[in-house]
Structure 1
Amino acid sequence: MKHRSIHTAVVLVLVTALVSTPAIATAATPTVRSVDSTDLSDPDEFERWLDETMADQLERHHVPGAAVVVVDDGDILLAKGYGYADLESQRPVVANETVFSIGSTGKLVTWTAVMQGVEDGRLELDRDVNDYLSDSAVSIPATYPEPITLEHLGTHSAGFEDTLDGMVVDEPGKIRPTEEILAEHRPARVRPPGEFVAYSNYGTALAGHVLAEQYDTSFIEYVDGRIFTPLEMDDTTYAQPLPTRLEPRRAIGYTYQNGDYRAHPPLIWTLPPEGGSFRTTGTDMGRFMLAHLNEGTYGSERILEAESVEDMHRRHFTKSRDVPELNGMAYGFIEMDRNGERIVGHWGDTPRFKSLLALFPERDVGLFVVYNAPGGAPARFELLEAFTDRYYPRSDAPLVDPSSGAADRTEALTGDYRSLTISESSWQRILGVTTRTYTVGAINDGYLTTSRLGEGTRRWVERKPGVYEAVGGDEILVFRFDEDGRATHLFQGAFGPATYERVPWYESLTVLQSVLATGVIGFVSVLLLWLGAPLWQRVRDRTAPTRRERLARGLLGVVSLLWLVVLMIFLLALLNLNAEVASPSLALQAGKILRYVALVGTAGSVVATGFVWRDGYWNTGLRVHYMGATLLALLVAWQLYLLRVLPL
């Protein structure tokens, strides 16, 4: 708990000091009734349970509306809307009418289409994707000897850095062809393919483009004809803005602030295969689930052969051979196994909409849920857990006490572990560093704790060396070690498409937050002295400073002001990330120039510090303050370099 309290306090300081990130809704522990195992044979009982569960979720997580669809044994068991799609008009959510944005859950359509290409003989999963791009402006550089294949793209193991560039625009008229965007905003290859899982929107969009190239059509036209039409997904579209017939049924996206809901206009997404512009109804997604659970068929239509469906649902990437129960990646599908049940699916996030699709292939059961507010992010996983615990409960008892020697082993695991899904070359790295870093701590005779911005502190108990289980739960953490036995990577069982890498102490959140917060305080103190010095001299009848003294003091004052302005600009850019990605503001463009001016000024302050001490400017206290402020400027520049706010 100590790590979490320090972390939270520092984050609040940083928000005030212009260097923090937007708040993220804290995940709450779901309220789930303890019941004996049951099944789905009683639809009325299931609906009563779901009604109660959803009412609780919408209230606790401040979500106006949601849609839920459950399929079982080849049919839609239940499709129901909860709450409101539009609060102003009091329009309710209707599962077969309300059109939701479902984000990356729509990627499953892309990977289904790719598998159709494999069936047709147009594509091969183990072939270099460059072989399919000979007539395209898109190409993948030979950064590593190993080529990137569709297998790598479908398991998010291609080795790309993360980037949001090119994914959103201000208005539909600015949407450009997918080929142009992929060519212009290609992310760097930062690790060999097949080494680690690191979620990539670009990788999915690239796969969709490869498919379109091979069929000499657009991706949208392909999936309309080969997936949406045969599955009767008549209310599913990538069109932006929505077609006239669907616009009146569009769910409004909301955020909850100060006791009120705020409505937001839809974002304009540019890369259809990655799912941002995918909009659909609950029942349309129910038909998609039924096709995947019925060996590729829906009614008299077949979209995939049974072997292809099985191949998509099987594991393609294992993150830990020593811990096979750790969830990995199927093809396009994310493994979500829980309570010994085989579960594959996907979830999706846009700023206001949160969705999840989960298939239980061995049970012939599927669950889809979508919410129209950020609170849906924790709510969707709570629903999956509650559903699984109720209908397919765990057979063994959860662990409670650590094993012998766990305390010593746990201490060696403490530190910060950062997701590999992060930018390595742009200021967007701030987002990944601040929101995708787990701080691991040790408490009470061998228990482990983890905390992350937006999540509460969780406690873990050792199952075996390097493998930890959530106290009272089913989730696991798995650590990977190097040849010397040092923990290097962390994997979270429920989060298949991510790898967390241990970072050195100087890149930890504690150091980052401490340096930036102290730097802000130091810069403000310089400005106060800078502005107050003339008044102080007049009141105390001090001798006027020499020209060199004024220059030295003025230089550090300008440097302090510049760093504060740079921090403010990039904080505001982070708070308005989607808008800045769509169309960088003049402020952000100015900030990119000012950061280098501030760096040059900092170098000048280092030189000036030498003169301050050599020539004995002012008294000892002021000289120490000058030197300390200059040192803080250097440390802030160093941390901003690590964040790529100051790329060199």
Structure 2
Amino acid sequence: MKHTPIHTVVVLVLVAILVSAPAIATGATHSVRLTDRDEQIESSELSDRDELERWLDETMADQLERHHVPGATVVVVKDDAVFLAKGYGYADLESGRPVVANETIFSIGSTGKLVTWTAVMQGVEDGRLELDRDINDYLIDSAVTVPDTYPEPVTLEHLGTHSAGFEDTLDGMIVDEPGKIRPTEETLAEHRPARVRPPGKFVAYSNYGTALAGHVLVEQYDTSFAEYIGGRIFTPLEMGDTTYAQPLPARLEPRRAIGYTYQNGDYRAHSPLIWTLPPEGGSFRTTGTDMGRFMLAHLNEGMYGSARILEAESVEDMHRRHITKSRDVPELNGMAYGFIEMDRNDERIVGHWGDTPRFKSLLALFPERDVGVFVVYNAPGGAPARFELLEAFTDRYYPRSDAPLVNPPAGAAGRAEALTGDYRSLTISETSWQRILGVTTRTYTVGTTDDGYLTTSRLGEGTRRWVERRPGVYEAVGGDELLVFQFDEDGRAAHLFRGTFGPATYERVPWYESLTVLQSVLAAGVLAFVSVLLLWFGAPLWRQVRDRAGPSDRERLARGFLGVVSLLWLVVLVIFLLAWINLNAEIASPSLALQAGKILRYVALVGTVGAVVATGFVWRDGYWGTALRVHYTGVTLLAILVAWQLYLLRVLPL
């Protein structure tokens, strides 16, 4: 189907809209309490199973409806036993098959990483692995290596705390069909991310790092990852319905939960993605009750029944804090080993969450209470719902003892003003066009209000307000989530940490990399390029109506040259916008359009250089009137600025 010029313009305007994250965000992805914040939260003892079930039934019914999720499983373990395991809603809407906690197979994404890190600790216990040893020492017979970009080597300690310093990359993680899955070693070797910061300095979540740790493990045991995990973890824990196999074994396929998205009032079913790196968790599929057994083993010092998968000391080491992100704010959540700190209401909580495009999961352990909670949903709405559930559960059974802050202290407005700007996650690509994902979805814009509150906003998350606890430390209004700033030697805010999101560091970006500048440049560029095309195609008709003479050959050539350059930049923007929208498909198998776009971006750049030269001739020879010469110059300048912003996005790597 051919697209009209108007259709193209509409699509291009979306480029500017998509990068103006704070301005258009309406859907909240942060955690909010399920109770009215103005009401006193009623505390309950987690001792009455029926009371818990009644509360969960009401809570989950509300969540599935509000967040447009067909089905979910919830498992609560307590005191060495499954306290409650229940399914809600539907695993398959078409057949009406319900979710059953001990039967329905869900994809749980990166929550499965906890199994990988448990296996690594087994290797440490066996004496085959050391957490502080150079990774390359274990890769002598492997095609995978870690480059010596920095003097400090990368270790399993760095990998398990997501502080190895790798850039973020999705390359090699997804393929079109199971037959295209290659050995983990080949995938890791071919798609090695760049080391972009010294290890141990900052936390930045890394799928590659976990996959690399799994590869190190199997190199030492000379086996496959699935075979190792099956024999050392799944079998002793009786996790008989858990697998990395793709496609699912025939006995499990009839019980698979379908993944859905909600669009225009209807649910759309999706086929499973095919993941290539088992240790990072994408291909991990399981039931709620199987994950309950895994939680019980971690809460019972490595034991499940008579089976032991870890020594008590190893479990304690995995659950303790390994990285403190701010020494001045010890209450800020950091990283345990493999586990993410999720403390709330002064309760020690460690766990993990997982995301695939359609499935959202969360596992949270309360080690001091011998309590664990696991939940998984089969639609994107589960992303905010899982944190809502955790916060509501914690508030109900382990409520906060002090009152939340409400009003900013004296002088807060001035201190907040110094913190404003954009803060971007370090979990971002530094070398490829996938950087678009991090820039548009992992950037927080920090602002202030006149009365001294701090505000934050990002794509997919509404504006939030924060009140100052003390300089550089803020608390969510009406809640206890923390926002903490780290300052450089000059006393300027340089980094931002979110209390409920342990595996991330947000770095303040210079003004010219802000979303506002990016949005403005791309929007202005799109409008300028379209104006050139309108003049290009409309000039003959205008001359005919006004009965004016045609331009000289040189004038026609100059105008045509800028028209081609404008068209090229518009095509490049459309191609990479669509690649961003269809990211998973492009990662699995790059489209011809994307491959063409990677060539056209350089053609457009060369053309822009030519337009600069042409601009000189336009002024020297006095083409057209002054207004058109200024327009020509302005469009050329905007083409340069667009190229600059695309370079910052790595859409145009040089």
TM value normalised by structure 2: 0.96
Q: Which residue matches 2:568?
A: 562
1:511 to 489, 511, 517: 517
Corresponding residue for 1:374? 380
Quick one: structure 1 residues 183 and 480, their matched pair in 2 at CA, closer, same or farther if it must change by over 3 Å? same
Q: Give aligned-pair identity as a percent.
A: 85
Alignment of 1:442-461 (within 5 A): 442-461=448-467
State the 1:19 CA deviation: 6.0
- Distance across 2 between alignment mates of 1:21 and 1:252: 33
Name the structure 1 match of 2:35.
32
Counterpart of 2:457 in 1: which secondary structure? strand
Q: How far did residue 26 of structure 1 move?
A: 3.0
| Alignment-mate amino acid for residue 405 of structure 2 | L
- Residues 84, 429 of structure 1: alpha-carbon distance in 2 compared, 3 angstrom cutoff: same
Residue-pair matches, total: 638
Q: Partner letter of residue 317 of structure 1? A: I
Q: 2:269 aligns with which of 246, 260, 263?
A: 263
Who is 2:644 aligned against? Answer: 638
Q: Is the 8 A contact 2:16 2:519 kept in 1?
A: no
Report the AA paired with residue 339 of structure 2.
Answer: F
Match of 1:223 in 2: 229
The residue type equivalent to 2:120 in the other structure is: V
- Aligned-pair distance for 1:180? 0.2
Match of 1:75 in 2: 81
Letter in 2 for 1:31: L
- Consecutive unaligned residues in structure 2, runs of 5 or more: 1-9
The counterpart of 2:112, out of the listed 106, 111, 117, is: 106
Matching residue of 1:592: 598
TM superposition shift of 1:401: 1.2
In the alignment, is residue 358 of structure 1 matched against residue 399 of structure 2? no
CA distance in 2, matches of 1:31, 1:616: 68
CA contact (8 A) 1:14 1:513 kept: no
What is the distance in 2 between the residues matched to 1:567 and 1:523? Answer: 11
Per-residue deviation at 1:444?
2.7
Which position in structure 2 is the counterpart of 1:408? 414
Residue deviations 1:416-472 (CA, integer Å, cap 9, x gap)? 000000000000000000000000001032210000100011100000000000011
TM (norm. structure 1) is 0.97
Separation in 2, partners of 1:476, 1:602: 46
CA deviations on 1:467-494 (whole Å, 9 max, x unpaired) are 0000110100000001110000000000
Q: Indicate whether 1:617 and 2:623 are aligned.
A: yes
The whole-number CA distance in structure 2 between the counterparts of 1:14 and 1:372 is: 32
The question of whether the paired residues in 1 share the 8 Å contact of 2:108 and 2:286 is answered with yes
Q: In the alignment, which residue of structure 2 is the partner of 1:627?
A: 633
Q: Which residue number in structure 2 is paired with residue 466 of structure 1? A: 472
Task: State the partner residue of 1:6.
Answer: none
Q: In the alignment, does 2:559 pair up with 1:548?
A: no
Which secondary structure state, in structure 1, belongs to the residue aligned with residue 301 of structure 2?
coil
Residue 318 of structure 2 is matched in structure 1 by 312
Q: Counterpart of 1:148?
A: 154
Partners of 1:534 and 1:557 in 2: CA distance: 14
**Per-residue CA distance 1:374-405 (angstroms, 9 max, x = gap):** 00000000000000001000001101111121
Summarize deviations over 1:53-112 as a string: whole Å, max 9, x none: 000000000000000000011110100000000000010000000000000000000000
Letter in structure 2 aligned against 1:32: T
Match of 2:130 in 1: 124
Matched-pair contact (CA < 8 Å) for 1:25–1:374: no
Match for residue 49 of structure 2 among 26, 43, 61:
43
Distance 1:293 1:470 in 2: 30
Q: Which residue of 1 aligns with 2:340?
A: 334
Counterpart-to-counterpart distance in 1, 2:413 and 2:20? 34
Match of 1:59 in 2: 65
Over the residues paired in the alignment, what is the CA RMSD in angstroms? Answer: 1.4
Looking at structure 1, the residues matched to 13 and 451 of structure 2 have their Cα atoms a distance apart, in angstroms, of: 33
2:3 equivalent in structure 1:
none
Alpha-carbon distance in structure 2 between the residues aligned to 1:122 and 1:36: 50
Q: Write out the 4+ residue segments of structure 1 that deviate beyond 4 Å after TM superposition.
A: 11-14, 16-25
1:426 and 1:16 map into 2 onto residues whose CA distance is 18
State the alpha-carbon separation in 1 of the partners of residues 470 and 73 from structure 2. 40
Q: CA deviation at 1:14?
A: 4.2
Aligned-pair CA distance for 1:18: 8.1
Equivalent pair of 1:169/1:268 in contact (CA under 8 Å): yes
Deviations 1:32-59 (A, max 9, x none): 2643321111111110001000000000
Distance 2:12 2:46 in 1: 50
Instruction: Please give the alpha-carbon distance, in whole angstroms, between the structure 2 residues aligned to 1:418 and 1:458.
Output: 17
Query: Partners of 1:513 and 1:433 in 2: how far apart?
Result: 11
CA distance in 2, matches of 1:431, 1:24: 18
In structure 1, the residue matched to 2:102 is 96
Whether the 8 Å contact between 2:19 and 2:515 is mirrored in structure 1 is: no
C-alpha distance 420-475 of structure 1, shift in aligned 2 (>3 A): same
What's 1:15 paired with? 14
**SS class of match (1:367):** strand
- Inter-CA distance 18–562: structure 2 relative to 1 (3 Å threshold): farther
Give distance in 1, aligned partners of 2:462 and 2:392: 19
Mapped contact 1:21–1:431 kept (Cα < 8 A): no
Shift of 1:21: 9.2
- Deviation per residue, 1:230-275 (Å, 9 max, x gap): 0000000000000000000000000000000000000000000000
Query: Aligned with 1:187: secondary structure?
Result: coil
Q: Distance in 2 between matches of 1:595 and 1:506?
A: 21
Report the alpha carbon displacement of residue 536 of structure 1 after superposing the two structures with TM: 1.3
Q: Structure 1: any 5+ residue segments left out of the alignment? A: 1-10
Over 3 Å counting, the alpha-carbon distance change for 1:14 and 1:464 in structure 2 is farther
Displacement of 1:406 in angstroms is 1.1
Q: Is the 8 A contact 1:20 1:571 kept in 2?
A: no
**Equivalent position SS for 1:362:** helix
| Equivalent-residue separation in structure 2 for 1:49 and 1:284 (angstroms) | 23
1:8 is matched with which residue? none
CA distance in 2, matches of 1:453, 1:618: 44
Paired with 1:12 and 1:488, the residues of 2 have a C-alpha distance of 36
Paired with 2:60 and 2:327, the residues of 1 have a C-alpha distance of 38
* Distance (Å, rounded) in 2 between the aligned partners of 1:90 and 1:182: 41
Amino acid in the other structure paired with 2:14: V
Distance 1:404 1:16 in 2: 41
CA contact (8 A) 2:445 2:457 kept: yes
- Report the counterpart of residue 172 of structure 1 in structure 2: 178
Instruction: State the match for 1:484 in structure 2.
Output: 490
For the 8 Å contact 1:440–1:451, the answer to whether it is kept is yes
Q: Tell me if the contact between 1:21 and 1:575 (Cα under 8 Å) persists in the aligned partners.
A: no
- In structure 2, how many angstroms separate the alpha carbons of the residues matched to 1:360 and 1:19? 39
Q: What letter corresponds to residue 371 of structure 2 in structure 1?
A: V
Summarize deviations over 1:518-547 as a string: whole Å, max 9, x none: 111111110000001111112212122111
Q: Does the CA-based 8 Å contact 2:416-2:448 persist in structure 1?
A: yes
Answer whether contact 2:16 2:523 (CA < 8 A) is retained.
yes
Q: Match for residue 607 of structure 1?
A: 613
Are 1:467 and 1:479, in contact at CA under 8 Å, matched by a contact in 2? Answer: yes
**CA shift for structure 1 position 31:** 2.7
Instruction: Say yes or no: does 1:523 pair with 2:525.
Output: no
Aligned partners of 1:431 and 1:113: how far apart in 2?
31
SS at match of 1:460: strand
- Compared with structure 1, are the counterparts of its residues 105 and 21 closer, same or farther at alpha carbon in structure 2 (3 Å cutoff)? farther
Q: How many angstroms apart in 2 are the aligned matches of 1:441 and 1:13?
A: 28
What is residue 534 of structure 1 aligned with on the other side?
A: 540
Secondary structure (helix, strand or coil) at the match of 2:494 reads strand
One-letter code aligned to 1:569: I
Residue 163 (structure 1) aligned with residue 169 (structure 2): yes
